């Protein structure tokens, strides 16, 4: 009998995490970091961009539906309008949907160490808060699964 660490995914990422973290990930990818870390971040950011693209398509589709705009026409909803309320009512369930994007296979703490290893790298507290749900964390205690 062998005992191996097994991590149950307690937190399922939501599409809202992806939508909110887009700019923070852009900030992250602009920083200097060791090649192996940069490679993992690059691979993850490509998958992230694909998932973000799907969310953006849904956002635009909802805006066009509410405004009646056709392809090629500019569609805009002003803040404080009944249309904006309708937009939020329709877009909120999209953002609350579970996301198929896997966490970046890089510990968040290891990412922080890699970023700190290069002079001049700076991320805001807001960026860190938006990025953290996208990465694995050492703070979680893995459950033990018995494999026979």
**Short-list 110, 112, 103, CA closest to 135:** 103
User: What's the pLDDT tens digit per position in 17-44?
Assistant: 999 999 999 999 999 999 999 999 999 9
Give the pLDDT score at 6: 39
Q: Quick check: 33 and 117 in contact, CB under 8 A?
A: yes
pLDDT of residue 8 exceeding 70: no
Average pLDDT for 95-122:
92
Give the pLDDT score at 73: 85
Give the pLDDT score at 71: 81
Cα 37 to chain centroid distance, Å, stands at 17
Instruction: Name the pTM for this structure.
Output: 0.79
Helix 108-116 with 35-67: angle, nearest 10 deg: 110
Average pLDDT for 127-139:
86
User: What's the pLDDT tens digit per position in 51-108?
Assistant: 999 999 999 999 999 999 888 888 889 999 999 999 999 999 999 999 999 999 889 9
Give the pLDDT score at 11: 58
**How crowded is residue 115: how many other Cβ atoms within 10 Å of its Cβ?**
19
């Amino acid at each position: 009998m062998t005992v191996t660490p097994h991590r149950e995914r307690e937190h399922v990422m939501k599409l809202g995490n992806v939508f909110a973290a887009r700019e923070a990930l852009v900030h992250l990818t602009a920083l200097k970091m060791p090649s192996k870390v940069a490679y993992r971040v690059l691979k993850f950011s490509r998958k992230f961009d694909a998932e973000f693209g799907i969310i953006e398509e849904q956002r635009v589709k909802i805006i066009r539906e509410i405004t009646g705009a056709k392809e090629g026409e500019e569609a805009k909803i002003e803040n404080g309008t009944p249309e904006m309320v309708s937009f939020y009512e329709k877009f909120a369930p999209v953002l609350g949907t579970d996301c198929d994007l896997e966490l970046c296979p890089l510990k968040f703490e290891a990412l922080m160490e890699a970023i700190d290893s290069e002079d001049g790298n700076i991320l805001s507290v807001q960026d860190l808060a938006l990025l953290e749900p996208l990465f694995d964390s050492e703070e979680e205690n893995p459950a033990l699964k018995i494999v026979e």
